Chains A and B, each alone.
Chain A
């Protein structure tokens, strides 16, 4: 373990084909943003009721992944699990690129993206959003520093300290992301402090799933062995993380059920919410949580197909989960007059409709592709991947 030799990703035909494919997606995302900017949000499915739609689901998903994917590095330098150390560089780079991808979507969805300088020069410190601007940009800075101390001999001794700072920063960042919804007291589907730990659990699970998938992809394309025993550890971790998402989600919904003015929303979501109920039980609980847990729990052997399928299921379930939290939460009508049946010209008392349009999905996919393109560029340019990692791990073990 003493000397890990790192190398760039060598590329190759499949690498470049994927790269070009992703660039096309990035271009589609850019064009979608221009189209939305030029015509206004009327060309999206978003409205005065569903004010945050598909772009925000993608953005929150990517931001949550960004903070979670850094945990592989933290396991090495904060928790002393040296087996994970060779993965730390890639983990840090992915954390930055996924955050950049998510932020790009958020910014391009603004009504006035041209006023970004206004957002950077006027801070309202009572706003968790303003804090998030600082947390996000600070995260990029801290993780960059983390990468630098890892990659230079001279400052290598600072790695544990900077690693700890990065770990604490990422916990704060995900707390901030969860609080965006946690601080909305007026809406029954939000306004709970449990959202902050729920988002942290989500980041651990979805970040790990993404990391596993990317490592497996690299393994097949550039013969970068992940090491079977390490892979097994990661899969066991995934089971724990996915389970903890379910736990916090359960706590969240049970507290709501016991809150008189929130129980209507819970009944709607869990029983008769149509698409949202289907997404919750079908995609999130069954396919995205129970199936992968059953697939992975207590297995000792390694099967690449099983790891890939279960990680993909976790991500699909996670996307559905965030969709329910963001879109479902807004679709449910605000209760202004409890006990009354209400009607108005602005759909009071009616569940809001939302059908995402192509530009929204294009923008979301573009941001996701941007995260991957940047990661691929970094892998090609910098020495991030350990050479013959499988063996070095076997030696250490």
Chain B
């Protein structure tokens, strides 16, 4: 075997002591940690939802992240949450709705009897029993320990069975080649994607982008740990009547709606 490295003559001659490896990495990582701590400030409602320290060990099985959408506060014609999601996760519409990514969409409902209209955002409902994860042949669709339903695109083969199984039309297939994706939101042609509940933000203790945007224009979306009876969101769910879309299917969505 020939070693083609330029900085190092032999393949084993310059193999460092484990300690050296550690030391250099520690320096690198300490720097990264400091940089992290200093830029946290602009984030809204940091750690207010109880994430943070616990996240070190990964998704916490004692938590279940969820949302409560108050339809009466959702302004018809407002697409703040959709725009925020697009900006945060880097997906765009090209005017071809059938093949465009649709991580979140505003649906207008009209009661034909009274003529009354309502509007509400629909995205991945982060089911407790996600049909997408059940049907996925490779286990690419899965539910994290804290209830967030994701697509592991390292395993996704693009069979689209999850899209057949999803009751909410919440998943999209990437039909075209992409470039310059957001570093924290990888997406690629030939794989399936959907709302991640802004998992990269939640893991840092920051609320999803749509929640943050909605807070500025109506405050219809609440986010939090629905498994914790003392969380804000659980208290509201306990007090008022809320519903789950297609609750009859028994998939127990983590996104609830109020005044629908």
Contacts and interface: CB of A to CB of B under 8 A. Distances in A.
Are any A and B Cβ atoms less than 8 Å apart in their complex? yes
Interface in A11-46: 37, 39-42
B134 interface: yes
Nearest to B158: A111
Nearest to B189: A40
B168 A111 contact: no
14 contacts: A47-B98, A47-B175, A48-B99, A48-B169, A111-B173, A118-B157, A122-B155, A127-B161, A129-B159, A130-B138, A133-B137, A336-B122, A337-B107, A344-B105
B167 to A, nearest CB: 3
A178 to B, nearest CB: 14
A111 B192 contact: yes
Interface centre among B138, B166, B172 (most CB of A within 10 A): B138
A229 interface: no
A116 interface: yes
Contacts, number: 172
Contacts of A340: 109-112
Interface string A121-134: 01110111110110
Given A47-B99, A111-B158, A111-B160, A126 B131 contact: no
Interface residues of B, number: 55
Interface of B: 82, 93, 97-100, 102, 105-112, 122, 131, 133-140, 154-161, 163-169, 171-177, 189-192, 245-246, 249, 260
Contacts of B176: 39-40, 42
B245 A353 contact: no
Main secondary structure of the interface of B (DSSP, over half): loop
A347 B159 contact: no
A125 to B, nearest CB: 9
A184 B251 CA distance: 13
A42 B99 contact: yes
B169 A49 contact: yes
Contacts of A344: 105-108, 122
Contacts of B167: 185-187, 334, 336
A124 B164 contact: no
B159 A110 contact: yes
A133 B140 CA distance: 16
A341 B172 CA distance: 23
A122 B165 CA distance: 20
A345 interface: yes
A311 interface: no
Contacts of A185: 131, 167, 249
Residue of A183, A184, A337, A341 ringed by the most chain B CB atoms within 10 A: A337
Most A CB contacts (10 A, CB to CB) among B105, B109, B165, B171 go to B109
B98 A347 contact: yes
B166 to A, nearest CB: 7
Contacts of B191: 111-112
